[in-house]
Amino acid sequence: MKDNPSSGALVGWETSRLGQRQILRLQFVTTPPPHEAKDIHHINLALDENQAVQLGNSLFHMAGQTPPAHKKRGWLERLFS
């Protein structure tokens, strides 16, 4: 039976798109370093755009940071977009 831990320390992540969904692949370990490739576990999460935005905002809040402000586009950029 495959070992499927439910918690660990985050060591990496990747993102990709699959249609309308964002795929978030989290990589984590459950043992102290040094680590080998076999120590890294993965979980794939499918998020819609709203969930991705909510997760991002939650992470900013959790870290005590504010999300980047939206830059107002100039008239030339608006004209050619």
What does the pLDDT look like over 14-47, one tens digit per residue? 999 999 999 999 999 999 999 999 999 999 999 9
- With a CB cutoff of 8 Å and minimum separation 6, the contacts of 20 are 48, 49
- With 70 as the cut, is the pLDDT of residue 6 above it? yes
d(CA 2, CA 22): 26
User: Two tokens at 71?
Assistant: 């830059």
pTM: 0.75
pLDDT of res. 2: 60
Spell out the long-range contacts of 47-52 with Cβ–Cβ below 8 A and sequence spacing 24 or more.
47/21, 47/22, 47/23, 48/20, 48/21, 48/22, 49/20, 49/22, 51/22, 52/22, 52/24
